[in-house]
Each structure stands twice: as C-alpha cells, then as structure tokens.
C-alpha cells in the first residue's frame, strides 16, 4: 500500500499522543473553526516556578496532517519552557514528522498556532502581557507568514505573493500576486481573512488578486 | 488488514471488464488503422466499419440516429463542446444568456465561468436541500436572450436525479436548447431522446467498466454547434482528432454488458448502507434524496469529524472512498455540491461518498459499516466538537 504521508505522520495519525482536555488548564486556545475547515484545541498546565509546560493535551477536528501535527507538538512542547515552546514552528513540527506534503501545510500550521495561542492565553491570564497595542502593517505581515502558499508549502511572505499591503482606519487591503481564477485563490483569501480579521482594531480585510 | 482491497469509488473510475478489453484488443494489434484512411487502403475501410457499428450501438441505446452521436475523450470534452459550441453558434445571433445549476460538475461549471469572462451572462439556479432545481425558477429565468439550459441528469456527489423530462419540456416550450450531463446515469437510468426533449447529452465510458479516455456526445439533428477545436474533419466535422477506435469499441461493449439486474443489485447495496449507517452510527446525515438518487450512490456526513481522516483510516482497512472535505480537494475548497444544498463547511468537512460497481459485493457493504462505526468513534474521541451531543445519544 502507498500513502501520501510519511511513516511517522501515519503513526501519529493512528495513535495520537496526549489527546483530550485538561480540566483546570492554565492556558487553553482553539484555532480555526468548523466553518473554515480544520479546528484544533490545545490545553496546557504550567509549572509556575520554572515556567515550563508540565502537561499538554490537544483535540483535533481535522485531517491526518492536522491530527499528526497536533500530536507531535504536544510531544515537542512537553517539559519545555514557555519561551522554548514559543519557538516551535511549522518547520520544526514538519521535520519532527519526517516531512509533510506542501499542499497540507495550511492544515498543520493550525496546530502550531494552537500551541502559541494557548501560551499567549496563559500569559494574558497571568498578567504577563501588556495591554492591546494598535495593529501595525508589520504585525499584519507577521501574520501573513502563517498563511501557506499551497503551491510551495512556504508562506505567502516568503514566496513573494503579497504585492501590496495597506492599512488605514482599520481597513486592510492586500493584493495577492495570483490571478483571481487561480486554483487556490479562494482558499488563500479565506485564510488571509481568518488570520487578520480577529485583530481587535481591524474592521475589514479586502483581498484582491492581480490581473 | 492490508490484503484485500475494496473499491467504493466507482463514480471516479471503474475496474474495466475483461470482456471490454477482449473486444478492444484486435483494434490495437490487428487493425490499428483509422477510419480517415478508408479511401487509401482496406484496413481503413475495416476501421470505418468498426467505428460505424459501435456508433450505431451507442446512438441506438439513446434512441438516436447514428449521425447524432459523436465520440469524444470523455464527458469533460463533451460538455465543453456543447456549452462553448452553442455559445459560439448563437452568442451573436440570439443572445448570451445561459442557465445552469449551482451543483453541476466541473466540466459544466468551469465552462460557464470561462464563458462569463467572454461576456456571457450565466444564471446559476439554486437547488433545494435534496439538490433539486425549482422548475418554476427555471421557467422564470428563461428570457428571449437565453440560448442554453444545462442541467445534469444526476449529481456526481449526492446522486440526486433531476426531472429532465420536465426540464426538457420547459426548454422546448420556450425554444431554448437543453444540455444534460449524463455521466453517472448513462445505462443506469432510462434515457431515450425520443421521449425526453433533450438536445445534447454528455456521456463517458469510465463510469461503466469501460476504458478511460473515451466518451460521447449526443447532438440532436439541427442543433447549432460551432466547432472550436481545429484539426481534421472527423466526427461529422465537430470533434477533430484521430479516432479512438479501440476506445469506441470498448465503450460500446461496456454499454452492452450493463444489465438492469446489475443496476438493481447496486441499488440494494445503496439501500443497505444508507439504512445501516443511519441506524447504527449516531450523528449522521444523508446528503441527497433518499430514493430519487443514483442507484450506485451514497453520500453521508459524519458530524464532528473530518473526511480525509475517515478516508485514510478506511484506506488502511482496505476500503477506497471519497470525501467532499476541503482538505481532500485539489483547490482546498469544500464541496460546492454540499454547500449548494444548503450545507455548511462542517457538513462538507465530514461527508463521505460511497459509489458501487460491478465488482462490489453485499458482504463488502456489510463489513464496511462495522469498520466505519469504529473509525468514527475513535475520531470523535479526538475531536473537540460534539461532546455534549454525543452524550445525549448514548
């Protein structure tokens, strides 16, 4: 039999580690939503002295890449300090799984986002972050690095697909260097909106395509 | 676990019947000439005769005359020839309005999108929860600029069968051409052009245990079609290119081999899987109409879980099925059919299509239900969704 995934991905898909919820979690987050596809919830317990992740659990409403990435990041993050765990990115997770298909990058990024958001949730609840800052174009560019270009498995910024970006009065305009009828144009548009719209001071996100 | 394979994706492709291959063989090895050579040497005459004979088989099957049926490379090409050919023939003369539905398969929906870019106006009719178009809406949508209505005979994903008899009468009454994509109904449901007022029918061999790469198009005599692919004068000067004689012979053989008993058997499998899954696995929804659906099609949403995860687990158990999940699709978009019947992304996300064919058995159907129940249970344990609802149904 042949599978589109590595042995390790299949192993984590079949037997995901650290599945479930933590009742009295110190930090928790859900990324994605049923309406846009995959969804991941991450729960963490934090050792208050050492600032390390003492326990972590996840749940996934997603495809094989999503489940396997959720599983691997719980293994990678367990025992790490919060700062170390924040460094875990899609590349780290993908490498730990022996590689993921490029077209599946967007499904697995969600799990990594889930971990980061759970840590952020802990920090917010424990007064470790300062109050809301106004969104800058830099912050938007940073978020666009989390939107994957399914053609290459790399993000939109790295593959130079973001041709223009304007932020004015809470309205973001982004020009993507793909034709409007492109195979992935709708899916990229949805993901860009999903990443930028939750920012507290953003009212509207307009995604345009070239040509 | 990795031994036996069960193929429940017969709307994507079918195992070719050995008898079809046997019928094709002589046209690969003994007479490999093409019909175009009929005035040069005798092999050409044999080729012409073979092609005429199978064209007659296909045309007769539809109740048509032989000169109303052309061979193509498949239903994609047949629908492209129909939509773009009519658009070119009537766009300047009559009008630039075309009517179709929101749940058509890609050959139709992507042809209409391409025509939109050329300045054509397209009405995409809504469908109801089961996938049926509203006949009154169709009637109202037709204007004096409408040149073509394209509504599929049955849906590729949810199996819903449209009332093409009534659709055809409305088109006839309003003097508009009617095209139907019959890829999944051909030979499985009655389709006779003497009874149904339809002008263009796209069919294909790949869904009926015939070869891939051959299909056909019925064109009612007098239908205005402009040829747009340039080449030779083959297929009544509508579809140029080397005649695929082995393919055409295989197509005709495949049609001859389909029996109503077989179709009845597929329908029994369909009904068994629908009844058992809905009864034995909680939180499941049937997509499409319960009985006005293709005899070989089942489409069910398993709530709170994602389709690609289900297909991968089933694959490991030896079963091949497909899903409408965005994770599975080549464009990373949820099935436009499930969305079209008023479903949300969630309903598409967990939808699984089972399609049956000649080589499936009732035993395989019974086995998959138990395996599915296990897989769904395990995936729901991982899922953050539906926990409270699942408690309720225990």
Beta carbons of B306 and A63 less than 8 Å apart: yes
* Confidence check: pLDDT of A151 > 80: no
Task: Tell me if A40 and B333 make a contact (CB, 8 A cut-off).
Answer: no
pLDDT above 50: residue B147 = yes
- Which residues, other chains included, contact A51 with Cβ-Cβ below 8 Å and sequence gap of 6+? A81, A82, A83
Q: What is the mean pLDDT of residues B253-278?
A: 98
Return all residues near A201 (Cβ < 8 A) that are at least 6 apart.
A132, A134, A135, A170
Asked if pLDDT for residue A144 goes beyond 90, the answer is no
pLDDT in tens, A181-197: 888 888 888 888 878 88
Q: Which listed CATH number (3.40.50.1000, 3.90.1150.10, 3.40.50.2300, 3.40.50.2020) goes with B259-393? A: 3.90.1150.10
Report the distance separating Cα B326 and Cα B336, nearest Å. 10
CATH architecture for residues A7-125: Alpha-Beta Complex (3.90)
Q: Which residue of B has its CA nearest to A149?
A: B332
Other C-beta atoms closer than 10 Å to the C-beta of A24 total 6
To the question of domain B18-257 being in CATH 3.40.640.10, the answer is: yes
Give the pLDDT of residue B131.
97
Q: Is the ipTM of this complex over 0.90?
A: no
Run of H or E residues at A52: strand A52-61
Q: Are B332 and A104 inside 8 Å of each other by CB?
A: no
Report the chain B residue with the minimal C-alpha distance to residue A34: B346
> How far is the C-alpha of A53 from the C-alpha of A47, rounded, in Å?
6
Q: Per mean pLDDT, which range of A188-202, B23-37, B149-163, B229-243 is the poorest?
A: A188-202
> A6 CB near a chain B CB, below 8 Å?
no
What's residue B393's pLDDT?
A: 38
Chain B within 8 Å of A183 (Cβ-Cβ)?
yes
> Which of B111, B283, B312 has the most A C-beta neighbours within 10 Å, making it the best mutation to test the interface with A?
B312
Residue whose structure tokens are 């690609």: B308
- Interface contact flag, A61 B305, Cβ < 8 Å: yes
Tracing tokens 């079963």 back to the chain, one arrives at B319
pLDDT of res. B84: 98
Lowest mean pLDDT of B2-11, B156-165, B245-254, name the range. B2-11
The pLDDT of residue A139 is above 60 = yes
Structure confidence at residue B320 (pLDDT):
96
Give residue-wise pLDDT tens across range A109-136: 889 999 999 998 898 888 776 667 888 8
From the list B229, B327, B362, B382, the catalytic residue is: B327
Q: Is it the case that residue B259 has pLDDT exceeding 70?
A: yes
In whole angstroms, give the CA distance from residue A143 to residue A174: 13
Q: Is pLDDT of B204 > 60? A: yes
> What percent of chain B has pLDDT above 70?
96
**pLDDT at residue B389, as a whole number:** 46
> Nearest-CA neighbor of A136 among A208, A199, A205, A207?
A199
Percent of chain A with pLDDT strictly greater than 70: 96
When pLDDT is averaged across residues B302-324 and rounded to a whole number, the result is: 94
Q: Where are the domains of chain B?
A: 18-257, 259-393
By the CB < 8 Å criterion, does B242 face chain A? no
Rounded distance, CA B247 to CA B215, Å? 9
State the pLDDT at residue A31.
87
Is the pLDDT at B30 greater than 90? The verdict is yes
The full DSSP string for B214-278 is -EEEEE-TT------S-S--HHHHHS-S---HHHHHHHHHHHHH--HHHHHHHHHHHHHHHHHHH
Residue A149: per-residue pLDDT: 78
pLDDT of the residue at B390: 45
The C-alpha of A174 sits at a distance from chain B's nearest C-alpha, in angstroms, of 20
Q: Which residues on neighbouring strands pair with residue B300, listed in sequence order?
A: B286, B352
Q: Give the start-end residues of each E strand in chain B.
A: 6-7, 69-72, 97-101, 121-125, 146-150, 177-181, 200-204, 215-219, 284-286, 297-302, 319-320, 322-323, 351-355
Inter-chain residue contact B306 with A38, CB threshold 8 Å: yes
User: Three-class SS of residue B47?
Assistant: helix
Q: B269-297, pLDDT tens digit by residue?
A: 999 999 999 999 999 999 999 999 999 99
Q: Which among A112, A125, A93 has a CA at the least distance from the CA of A38? A: A112
pTM of the model: 0.88
In angstroms, how far is CA A19 from the centroid of its own chain? Answer: 18
Interface test with A, best of B4, B113, B332 (most A CBs within 10 A): B332
Lowest-pLDDT range of A110-124, B19-33, B158-172, B181-195: A110-124
CB contact under 8 A, B316 and A187: no
Task: Pick B385's closest partner by Cβ from A13, A61, A186.
Answer: A61
Q: What local confidence, expressed as pLDDT, does residue A35 receive?
A: 59
Mean pLDDT of B348-362: 96
A28/chain B closest Cα distance in angstroms: 12
Q: Which range is least confidently modeled, A167-181, A187-201, B46-60, B144-158?
A: A187-201
Q: Tokens for A47, please give them.
A: 């050792």
Is there a contact between B383 and A61 if contact means CB atoms under 8 Å apart? yes
Q: Is residue A30 within a helix (H) or strand (E), and if so which, with residue range? A: strand A27-32
List the catalytic residues of A. 36, 107
- pLDDT of B237 > 70? The answer is yes
Render pLDDT for B67-118 as a digit per residue (tens, 0 to 9): 999 999 999 999 999 999 999 999 999 999 999 999 999 999 999 999 999 9
| Domain edges within chain A | 7-125, 137-209
The closest CB to that of A63, out of B2, B308, B383, belongs to: B308
Q: What is the pLDDT of residue A36?
A: 60
Has residue B1 got a pLDDT over 80? no
Instruction: Report the chain A residue with the minimal C-alpha distance to residue B327.
Output: A63
Q: Could you tell me which CATH number the domain at A137-209 has?
A: 3.30.300.130
How high does pLDDT run on average in chain B? 94
């Amino acid at each position: 039999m042949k599978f589109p995934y590595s042995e390790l991905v299949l192993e984590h898909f079949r037997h995901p580690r650290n599945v479930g919820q933590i009742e009295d979690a110190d930090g928790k987050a859900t990324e994605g939503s049923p309406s846009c596809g995959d969804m991941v919830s991450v729960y963490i317990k934090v050792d208050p002295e050492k600032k390390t992740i003492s326990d972590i659990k996840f749940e996934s409403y997603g495809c094989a890449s999503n489940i396997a990435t959720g599983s691997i990041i719980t293994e990678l993050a367990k025992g790490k300090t919060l700062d170390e765990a924040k460094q875990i990115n899609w590349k780290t997770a993908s490498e730990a799984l022996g590689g993921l298909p490029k077209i599946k990058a967007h499904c697995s990024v969600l799990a990594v986002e889930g971990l980061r958001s759970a840590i952020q949730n802990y920090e917010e609840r424990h007064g470790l972050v300062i109050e809301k800052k106004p969104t800058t174009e830099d912050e938007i560019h940073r978020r666009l690095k989390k939107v994957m270009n399914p053609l290459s498995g790399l993000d939109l910024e790295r593959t130079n697909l973001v041709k223009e970006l304007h932020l004015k009065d809470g309205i973001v305009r982004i020009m993507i260097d793909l034709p409007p009828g492109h195979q992935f144009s709708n899916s990229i548009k949805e993901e860009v909106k999903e990443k930028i719209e939750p920012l507290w001071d953003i009212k509207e996100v307009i995604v345009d395509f070239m040509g | 676990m990795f031994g036996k394979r069960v193929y429940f994706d017969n709307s994507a492709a079918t195992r070719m019947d050995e008898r079809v291959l046997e019928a094709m063989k002589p046209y690969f090895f003994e007479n490999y000439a093409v019909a175009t050579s009929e005035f040069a040497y005798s092999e050409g005459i044999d080729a012409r005769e073979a092609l005429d004979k199978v064209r007659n088989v296909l045309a007769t099957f539809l109740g048509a005359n032989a000169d109303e049926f052309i061979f193509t490379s498949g239903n994609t090409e047949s629908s492209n020839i129909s939509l773009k050919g009519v658009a070119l023939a009537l766009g300047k003369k009559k009008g630039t309005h075309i009517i179709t539905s929101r749940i058509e398969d890609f050959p139709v929906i992507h042809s209409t999108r391409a025509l939109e870019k050329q300045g054509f106006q397209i009405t995409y009719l809504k469908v109801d929860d089961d996938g049926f178009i509203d006949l009154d809406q169709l009637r109202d949508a037709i204007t004096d600029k409408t040149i073509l209505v394209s509504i599929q005979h049955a849906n590729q994903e949810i199996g819903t069968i449209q009332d093409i008899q009534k659709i055809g009468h409305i088109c006839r009454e309003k003097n508009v051409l009617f095209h139907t994509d019959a890829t999944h109904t051909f030979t499985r449901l009655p389709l006779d052009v003497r009874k149904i007022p339809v002008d263009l029918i796209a069919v294909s061999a790949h869904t009926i245990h015939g070869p891939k790469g051959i299909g056909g198009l019925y064109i009612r005599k007098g239908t205005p079609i402009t040829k747009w692919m340039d080449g030779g004068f083959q297929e009544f000067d509508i579809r140029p290119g080397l005649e695929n004689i082995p393919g055409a012979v295989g197509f005709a053989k495949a049609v001859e081999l389909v029996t109503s008993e077989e179709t009845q058997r597929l329908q029994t499998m369909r009904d068994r899987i629908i009844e058992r899954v809905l009864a034995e696995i909680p939180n499941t929804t049937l997509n499409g109409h319960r009985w006005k659906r293709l005899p070989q099609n089942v489409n069910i949403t398993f709530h709170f879980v994602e389709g690609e995860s289900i297909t991968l687990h089933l694959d490991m158990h030896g079963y091949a099925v497909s899903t409408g999940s965005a994770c599975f699709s080549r464009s990373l978009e949820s099935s436009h059919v499930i969305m079209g019947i008023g479903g949300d992304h969630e309903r598409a996300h967990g939808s699984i299509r089972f399609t049956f064919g000649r080589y499936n058995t009732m035993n395989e159907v019974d086995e998959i239900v138990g395996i599915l129940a296990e897989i769904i249970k395990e995936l729901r344990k991982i899922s953050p969704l539906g926990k409270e609802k699942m408690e309720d149904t225990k």
